[in-house]
Amino acid sequence: MRSMKSELLRGVDGQSLIEAGLLLPLLLLLTFNAVNLGYCFYSYLNMASGSRQGAEYSIQGPHSIGGNLLPTNDQIQSLVSEDITSAIHGGSTALMRVCAQGSGLDSGYTGANQIPTCSSYGGSGGNFGTNDPNCTGTGAPPICPDPEAVSGLILNRIDIQYTVTPLIDGAAFNVIVPNLTFHRHIYMRNIN
């Protein structure tokens, strides 16, 4: 005689395997997209930190250890690039613009409208604006004189543009996080 329990379980021998097979792709999709989304936020935070450190270094150069001159645009770019490259996969492809007093001032602007000389790094300079004394540029932020300018204060700028590519590549795993381009810019004043 068969027991009642064996009669109930007779048709469900492979049910657990089928359920796991149906749920596993969904769980992998959610897990991989969570990893990609986390990496996207991690990349953005490192960009923000790198640009902030570059701006701080551009104004505190003489007051840092062993510093006696304002750092040049190349020195600032080297610092920021090293920070980003060591933290973000493919960070060396980041486009950067550095406008710092250590490389001199743009000769077209004087008095309270002084603008530091800018240098672009990586590629063709990215989607950065140009010097614009009236700040009428559209699209990327133009390089404008300090809106609260006082003679003797210079507004240093660090712009970084980076396209984040997901860590786990594949059409199914980039549903939530496609390739995103972040543009982060930091302004800090310096006494001339």
Render pLDDT for 133-166 as a digit per residue (tens, 0 to 9).
Answer: 556 655 556 676 666 666 667 778 888 888 887 7
- Is the residue at 9 inside a domain? no
**pLDDT computed for residue 64 by the predictor:** 65
- Nearest by Cα to 151 from 121, 114, 126: 114
Instruction: Give how many domains the chain has, as a whole number.
Output: 1
- Is the residue at 47 inside a domain? yes
pLDDT tens by residue, 25-71 = 889 888 888 888 888 888 888 888 888 888 888 888 767 666 667 88
User: Could you tell me which residues come within 8 angstroms of residue 161 by beta carbon, excluding any fewer than 6 positions away?
Assistant: 94, 95, 96, 126, 127, 128, 181, 182, 183, 184
CB 145 within 8 A of CB 114: yes
pLDDT tens by residue, 86-128 = 888 777 778 888 888 777 777 666 666 677 778 888 865 455 6
- Is the residue at 6 inside a domain? no
Q: Distance between CA 121 and CA 144 in Å, rounded?
A: 20
Q: Which domain holds residue 95?
A: 15-191
- Is the residue at 4 inside a domain? no
